[in-house]
Amino acid sequence: MAMKQAEDLREKYLRQSMFPTIFCDGCGIGNVLNYTLWAIDEIELDIDRTVFVSGIGCSSRLTGYVNADGLHTTHGRALAFATGVKVANPDLTVIVFTGDGDGSGIGGNHLLHTIRRNIDMTVILVNNYTYGMTGGQVAPTTPMGSITTTTPYGNSEWPLDVCEVARALGAPYVARWPVTFPYQPIKSIEQGIRKRGFALIEMLAPCPTAYGRRNNLRALDQSWKWYKDHSLLVEEYERIERFGTDAERATLQGKIKVGVFQDSERECFSDQWRAVVERVKLKA
Amino acid sequence: MDRNLIRKALGAKVQFIQGDEACAYGALLAGCTFFGGYPITPATEVAEVMARLLPKIGGCYIQMEDEIASIAAIIGASWTGAKTMTSTSGPGFSLMQENLGYGIMTETPCVIINVQRSGPSTGQPTLGAYGDMMQARWGTHGDHEIIMLCPANVQESLDLTITAFNFAERYRTPVLVFIDGELGHMRERVIIPEDDEIAIVNRTISNVSPDEYVPFGVNGDLVPAFAPFGAGYHTYVTGLTHNEQGLPRASSAEVHNRLVRRLADKILNNTDDIVLYEELETDDCEILLVSYGITAGVCRDVVATARQRGVKVGMLRLITIWPFAEEAVARLAQQVRMMIVSEMNMGQIIHPIREAVAGRCDVRLISKIGGALHMPAEIMEAVEQWR
């Protein structure tokens, strides 16, 4: 079989009339789209029966590029809209593109409850540490000390770890990868779509224009190196955390846990609801 | 949806039920199969009835985490082709404003019941009021039209909820049904109409192939044909200003003009169909009581009393509040000496009334807030005093 090319995926799955994209040079969101298309092509997903839902922000623009049914909604509310789609028609596959601000800031409450209900959907949350579309303001995920337009003297808040929240809530599938890892995200997106239940794949993506340039991560090679240097597989991270020496534990400072955080089974909402209907539905 | 199943779920043909319950019954009769809601006094019973009856007919009830999510869920569900509804009261309706605009912009059929209570803020949760009349019209940002119906009794809460679904489907837009805490919790005898007594409208589904389909392209009546998600049409739905293909054109004045004016015109060009009102003893009246909602029942009583006393009083009862019945008001303004507007707020619908009257007759307000209804005697007293 011939090697898959990004050009072929672009031809097959994207709306040609939407090009060029809105994304800046060096933005990692295009990589996320590439990995997503690769994954849906690998599992031969029926694109006619798939709905892409998003909120507002740079990453939420991804729904517009995919030639499929798409619901580009209001800021933070993608998961609530997506819940309506999935619950009303459980036969559809629902994939959500959201960002860190959209999905964990303004939309944080919907994230909690969509996971709690275990709605069967795949959420690809692009975390670029900032509100990129509005020019780079502090986000719930912005690292402590980072410079943004609204933290000109350095961020004084602790960042939110979205994957840890999802794991704590019992999401059946949780993974985090930087876009600098090309193969693992594809695998995780495949696994997420196949998972019957809520799947969260957090993608760490550089934003050179709005975040990087204020934090010494403007150049592409610089930012990609930063993600590589700061990423540590979750298994290794947690091994050191539990069993490492003091010296080993000190190396965890500033490291980001990446990998598959959770891969488990839990009955999803639609299955639970179907059981209710079977029990109480009237006979004609 | 199996009509027999709906009737079986609703039960006896004649029932003694609340306004809230009647709204839920109307929704089920209209074909609603999806309800997303959040509890709030005095609207909770709407959600409770839907939660009890929807699974019985194979539909879905989901309680969302807040009212923002409730309206989001019903819009998302509507795009699968389902008829969908949510219900709330003032504070929840405030939270719904952004997504209400999204529903208008994306031409998504859905119905929102607002069982009004006093505000601002938490106000008087258990008491009735009509303080959200103007919020309904202008609450969401940007230029838009909205359809809003105001039942006056429990039977009409059922009947007009069916009408609301029909308008939502016909014009592809969110439709509001506004009652109040008093009517929502009031019990009256209700007759469940037979299928041949009610019209059921379903949205026009695209009959062209996906290749030929233009998701927001229109013919004469300005309402685009609908293609449900999952049918292979690859519709892109966005709240951004979009062209007929549904694709964002957020910087184009021309596309924005064309889109937003069409969204308004599809409603404004059809006021003959949408604007419903009732006239009582208006042929020869010199004083006109203008009312809507639960207050209409009080005014009906006043008309009878006044006529017994030989005072030529009539009533215009607004059923559709938005778009506003300006032609009816303007016509009656040429005939009557005075309009008396009784509102359970500090005067909201009096403003479009004054605009339609344009100085042709005297317009006076009897405002009542705090939870109590107008008493027939106090309106009659005003009639006697002002005649």
Asked if B8's CB is within 8 angstroms of A80's CB, the reply is no
Q: How far apart are the first and last CA of chain A?
A: 53
A64 contact B CB<8A? yes
Task: Give the phi and the psi of residue A188 in degrees, each rounded to 5.
Answer: -65, -40
B245: which chain A residues are within 8 Å (Cβ-Cβ)? 17
* Vertex A100 angle, CA A98 and A101, to 5°: 95
pLDDT at B298 over 60: yes
Domains in chain A, number: 1
Is residue A281 situated within a structural domain? no
Assigned CATH topology for domain B277-386: Rossmann fold (3.40.50)
pLDDT band at B230 (very low <50, low <70, confident <90, very high): very high
Q: Tokens representing A280? A: 């109480």
What single-letter amino acid sits at A194? R
**Residue A119 contacts B where some CB pair is shorter than 8 Å:** no
| Other Cβ atoms within 10 Å of B385 Cβ, number | 7
What does each C-alpha distance from A51 to A22, B60, B288 come to in angstroms?
22, 19, 53
Asked if residue A87 is part of any domain, the answer here is yes
DSSP lists the bridge partners of residue A122 as A95, A199
DSSP secondary structure letter of residue B178:
E
Whether A213 is in a domain gets the answer: yes
Nearest to B76 among A84, A91, A269 (CB): A84
Query: How many other CB atoms sit within 10 Å of the CB of residue A108?
Result: 16
Whether the CB-CB separation of B238 and A72 falls below 8 Å is answered with yes
Residues 66-95 of A with CB under 8 A from B: 67-74, 77, 80-85, 87-89, 91-92
Residues B157, B186: contact at Cβ < 8 Å? no
B96 in Cβ contact with B67 (< 8 Å): yes
Q: Compare all CA atoms of chain A with the CA of B69 and give the residue at the minimum distance.
A: A80
CA dist B267 and B227 (Å) reads 21
User: Taking the mean position of all CA atoms in its chain, how far away is CA B188?
Assistant: 21
Cα dist. B236→A77, A116, B52, B294 in Å? 17, 28, 34, 42
Torsion sign (Cα): B267, B270, B272, B274:
negative
Residue A1's pLDDT is 47
| pLDDT (mean) for B211-227 | 95
Question: Per the CB < 8 Å rule, is A72 touching B240?
Answer: yes
Nearest to B238 by CA among B248, B230, B229, B228: B248
**B99 vs A63, A74, A89: nearest CB:** A74
B239 — pLDDT class (breaks 50, 70, 90)? very high
Q: Give me the residue label for tokens 């969101």.
A: A29
Q: Is B247 exposed, middle or buried (0-12, 13-18, 19+ CB in 10 A)?
A: middle
Sign of CA dihedral B111, B115, B121, B122: negative
Q: Would you call A15 and B235 a contact, using CB atoms and an 8 Å cutoff?
A: no
For the cut 50, the answer to whether the pLDDT of residue B231 exceeds it is yes
B77: pLDDT strictly greater than 80: yes
Q: Which B-chain residues 3-22 have CB contacts (< 8 A) with chain A?
A: 4-5, 8-9
pLDDT of residue B2: 87
Residues of chain A with pLDDT under 50: 1
Cα–Cα dist A250/A27, whole Å: 31
Residues 87..106 of B with a Cβ closer than 8 Å to A: which?
98-99, 102
| A261 assigned to some structural domain | no
Distance CA A205, CA B103 (A): 32
**Under an 8 A CB cutoff, do A77 and B99 touch?**
yes
Does residue A239 lie in a domain region? Answer: no
Provide the token pair at A78. Answer: 């993608």
Q: Residue B139 contacts by C-beta under 8 Å, 6 or more apart in sequence? A: B93, B94, B97, B100, B132
Q: Do A77 and B55 touch (CB under 8 A)?
A: no
Q: Average pLDDT for residues B76-84, to the nearest whole number?
A: 98
**B193 prior amide bond cis, ω within 30:** no
The pLDDT tens digits for B109-118 are 999 999 999 9
The interface residues of chain B toward chain A in range 178-237, judged by CB-CB distance below 8 A, are 229-237
Give the residue-averaged pLDDT of B54-83: 98
Q: What CATH code is carried by the domain that includes residue A146?
A: 3.40.50.970
Q: State whether CATH 3.40.30.10 applies to domain B3-197.
A: no
Q: Where in chain B is the domain with CATH 3.40.50.920?
A: 277-386
Tens digits of residue pLDDT in B128-184? 999 999 999 999 999 999 999 999 999 999 999 999 999 999 999 999 999 999 999
> Quick one: pLDDT at residue B112?
99
Measure Cα distances from A200 to A170, A190, A193, B347 in Å. Answer: 11, 12, 10, 50
What average pLDDT does the structure give for chain B? 98
CB B154 within 8 A of CB B190: yes
Q: Residue A66: which residues within 8 A CB-CB, separation 6 or more? A: A13, A14, A15, A33, A37, A52
Alpha-carbon separation of residue A104 from A52, A54, A255, B67, B240 (angstroms):
18, 13, 21, 18, 22
CA-to-CA distance for B289 and B342, rounded, in angstroms? 7
pLDDT for the residue A182: 86
For A119, counting Cβ atoms within 10 Å of its Cβ (0-12 exposed, 13-18 middle, 19+ buried), the class is: buried
- B218-239 per-residue burial string, b: 16 or more CB within 10 A, e: under 16: eeeebbbbbbbbbbbbbbbbbb
Which DSSP string do the residues of B289-334 spell out, in sequence order? EEE-TTHHHHHHHHHHHHHHTT--EEEEEESEEES--HHHHHHHHH
Q: What is the pLDDT of residue B162?
A: 98
| Distance of alpha carbon B320 from alpha carbon B292, whole angstroms | 9
Does the CA dihedral A200-A205-A210-A215 come out positive or negative?
A: positive
- Asked if residue A276 belongs to a domain, the reply is no
- Separation CA B129–CA B132 (nearest Å): 8
Is A80 inside a domain boundary?
yes
Closest CA to B293 of B163, B156, B187, B89: B156
Instruction: Give me the domain span that covers residue A127.
Output: 25-218
Q: How does pLDDT run across B190-207, given as a tens digit for each residue?
A: 999 999 999 999 999 999
Considering only CB atoms, which chain B residues are within 8 Å of A83? 36, 62, 64, 69, 72-73, 76
Look at residue A231 and tell me if it is in a domain. Answer: no
Measured at the CA of A93, the angle between CA A183 and CA A43, to 5 degrees, comes to 35
Q: For B260-265, which contacts have Cβ atoms below 8 Å and span 24 or more sequence positions?
A: B260/B142, B260/B143, B260/B144, B262/B218, B262/B222, B263/B104, B263/B105, B263/B107, B263/B144, B263/B145, B263/B173, B264/B143, B264/B144, B264/B145, B265/B222
Dihedral sign, Cα of residue A136, residue A138, residue A143, residue A147? positive
Looking at CA atoms only, how far is residue B104 from chain A in angstroms? 12
Reading the block at residue A265, the tokens are 């089974």
Selection from B156, B161, B192 nearest residue B31 by Cα: B161
pLDDT at A2: 59
Residue A91: CB atoms within 10 A of its CB come to 9
According to DSSP, the β-strands at B110-118 and B174-180 are: parallel
Residue ranges of chain B that CATH labels 3.40.50.970: 3-197
Name the H helices within chain B. 3-10, 19-30, 44-53, 67-78, 90-105, 133-138, 154-171, 181-185, 253-268, 271-274, 295-308, 326-335, 350-357, 376-386
Of A38, A240, A188, A207, the closest CA to residue A131 belongs to A207
Query: Using CA atoms, how far apart are residues B158 and B180, in angstroms rounded to an integer?
Result: 14
Residues 247-286 of B with CB under 8 A from A: 247-248
Asked if B139 and B100 touch (Cβ cutoff 8 Å), the reply is: yes
Minimum distance, in Å, between the CA of residue B328 and any CA atom of chain A: 38
